[in-house]
Structure 1
């Protein structure tokens, strides 16, 4: 005698995403990131570029005498 295996019927449940905690965190992070950006600009180091020398005068190219044909 064979028994028929009864399959369980799975009911699909609707998943509701609760975005309120994520929005609260983002609402708190935006001002903190903006404030951190302001403090980071104060921590920069002013560096002046190295002084450059005036360019060396160019030598005129040596002219070779033309060969006559």
Structure 2
């Protein structure tokens, strides 16, 4: 497997894991960064846990499984 692919996948897994964790735990720096934008767009704060945070974490899991080469069947 090309080195660039592995490095890109690992960085993406780390970023998605942190982003999902931060959203699900409503990390204070993330909440400050969001500001009033989600409210103006009509996105309730409860969506930070599900679906936003959970789907980010599941995306990281999917990347990790793909990187390990687990077959679909």
Q: State if a TM-score over 0.5 links the two structures.
A: no
Q: Which structure shows the bigger proportion of residues in helix conformation?
A: 2
TM-score under structure 1 length normalisation: 0.30
Larger Rg: 1
